[in-house]
Structures are given as C-alpha cells and as structure tokens.
Amino acid sequence: MCEHPARQQLLQRLALRLAALLLLGVASCRGSEFLEGDFIPAARRGQFHGQRTHWHDILGSHCPKFGVKRLVAVPLPQPVGHKVADEYKVQFSFDGDRHLTPWLSIIGKHAPSPPYVEVELVRTGNTIKSVSALVYALDQEDQRAHAPLVREFLNATHWPKHLLVHYRWRTQHEEDEEGGLLVLFSAGALVALLLGLNVARTYQDKLRAFLADVAGEQPGSGFGGAPTEKVE
Ligand SMILES: *[C@@H]1O[C@H](CO)[C@@H](O)[C@H](O)[C@H]1NC(C)=O
C-alpha cells in the first residue's frame, strides 16, 4: 500500500486533537477551583425516627472557607416528629454533592455528649480532593467556652440546637495527580500511535471521514499549519 505522508500527518494531528479533547474531558470532571478563603458550598440533612430530611443549604457564615481553619455553630431546626429519646444523625455535603461525610451520630445513646464534629478537608492545589468527618465529645474547657450552646444542646426540649463544627484543612501534594496525568498522556500518545499506524492504514478513508466529522472540519482544509507543503 502506498501511504501519502501528508494524509498520515493529518491523521496524526487529528488523533492528537482527539487525545487533547479526552484530557480536557477528564480535567473538567475534577472538582471546582477555589481561591484561598472562598466559601465552599455546603449542605446538611438529618436522619431520625427512621426517616431522612431533604438536603438544606448551609449559610455562608457556617460553611468552610478554602484553606482556612474555622469553628462554626451550625443551627439544627427541630426535626418534625422527633421524640425526646430518638437518635439524631447528620450528614454534610461539600462542593455541590462531590464530597459527602458519613452519617454522624450527634444525639442518642451512640453519640458523644455534648458532641462536636471535626471535618477534615483535603486540598490539592485549588480543588478539594476528599472530605472526612468524625464526632467527638467536647472537653471540659471547650464546654465552658461554649456554655450556653452546650446547655441548649443537652436540653432535650430546646430547639433549634447548634452543632459545633470544626473545619480543618490538609494539603496533599500533587504527585498523585501528576502520576494520573502521566498515565493519561501515555494513553493519549498510544491512541495517536495506533491511529497513525495500523488502524489508519486499514480504515484510512472511513476513519478520516469520522475524525473530520468529530473535529467539525473538512479534511485537507488545513489545521493551523500547512503540513502538505512542509519540506523536510
Ligand atoms: C429547656 O428548654 C426549654 C425550651 O427552650 C425551656 O423552656 C426549659 O426551661 C429548658 N430547661 C432547662 C432545664 O434549661
């Protein structure tokens, strides 16, 4: 078979474009980008008496701020149908629904009393990589520092209660991510290679039409440069 070098070059360019699109697609699946101190959108829902509430947005003043250590008191309205002896669990979500905490027991026999929630947000560059959360008992010193809030929390008939939530940040360096990108680039290079060699040779015309379709351009109309005129 006689290969036209210009055609081959065109196909390779298209394959590289395809690989670039693939990478862009993957990149856009990552979480939102934040600047230092930006509010992280957050929501909470409750579980009690065998039922779950809907998600409720958390006000900015109770949300985490990107990269900033913060202690807030999140108000919890009286759950409809909640009995004094019921357990109450809460779940948080951050950055849309990208990161969920487990269900955290804050009232009832399995809950530390009075409780506070420690949320650890892991950041990589300007994105949130993961979130974890645990419930702890407030120590004596912190109980004294937040006495009215603790008194209300321990009073079974007092609502709304305020749950102390401590947001902590940990930075994870981007090595993992670079590793991931390396794999992606290798995959992209492999795609380009395959398209440039055997596949292109066998299905050249069909493939060219398909790729031209994908790229939304006519084959041979030129892609930035003019590879056909290039003399080596
Ligand atoms: C508990 O809260 C209720 C409602 O706010 C209040 O009426 C009651 O006095 C409180 N009990 C104690 C012991 O503080």
Nearest to 15 by CA among 219, 189, 213: 189
Nearest to 66 by CA among 37, 89, 107: 37
Q: Probe ligand 1: pick from 157, 159, 161, 162, max atoms within 8 Å of CB? A: 157
Which ligand 1 atom minimizes the distance to the CA of 155?
A: 1
Longest dimension (CA), the chain: 86
Distance 175 CA to ligand 1 centre (A): 54
pLDDT in the model for residue 91? 97
Per residue of the chain (232 residues), give pLDDT as tens.
555 667 777 777 777 777 666 666 555 556 789 999 999 999 999 998 888 999 999 999 999 999 999 999 999 998 877 666 678 999 999 999 899 999 999 999 889 989 999 999 999 999 999 999 999 999 999 999 999 999 999 998 899 999 999 999 999 987 666 666 677 777 777 777 777 676 666 667 777 777 778 777 655 544 544 444 444 4
Which tokens belong to 191?
A: 């795609």
Residue nearest to atom 2 of ligand 1 (CA): 158
- The residue length of the chain stands at 232
Q: At what angle do helices 204-215 and 5-28 cross, to 10 degrees?
A: 40
pLDDT in the model for residue 132? 97
- Separation CA 95–CA 64 (nearest Å): 10
How far is Cα of residue 67 from the mean position of the Cα atoms in its chain?
A: 15
What pTM was estimated for this model as a whole?
0.66
Domain spans of the chain? 3-29+176-209, 42-172
Q: Probe ligand 1: pick from 150, 152, 153, 158, max atoms within 8 Å of CB? A: 158
Contacts (Cβ under 8 Å, ≥6 apart) of 163: 73, 74, 76, 90, 106, 115, 116, 117, 153
Which ligand 1 atom minimizes the distance to the CA of 159?
A: 5
pLDDT in the model for residue 36? 95
- Judge if the beta carbon of residue 158 lies within 6 A of ligand 1: yes
- 3-class SS string, the chain: CCCCHHHHHHHHHHHHHHHHHHHHHHHHCCCCCCCCCCECCEEEEEEECCEECCCEECCHHHCCECCECEEEEEEECCCCCCCCCCCEEEEEEECCCCEECCCEEEECCCCCCCEEEEEEEEEECCEEEEEEEEEEECCHHHHHHCHHHHHHHHCCCCCCEEEEEEEEEEECCCHHHHHHHHHHHHHHHHHHHHHHCHHHHHCHHHHHHHHHHHHCCCCCCCECECHHHCCC
- Judge if the beta carbon of residue 156 lies within 6 A of ligand 1: no
- Judge if the beta carbon of residue 155 lies within 6 A of ligand 1: yes
Residue nearest to atom 5 of ligand 1 (CA): 158
Distance 69 CA to ligand 1 centre (A): 33
How does pLDDT run across 72-90, given as a tens digit for each residue? 999 999 887 766 667 899 9
Q: Determine contact, residues 32/126, Cβ cutoff 8 Å.
A: no
pLDDT in the model for residue 206? 78
- Judge if the beta carbon of residue 140 lies within 6 A of ligand 1: no
- Judge if the beta carbon of residue 28 lies within 6 A of ligand 1: no
Other beta carbons within 10 Å of 64: 28
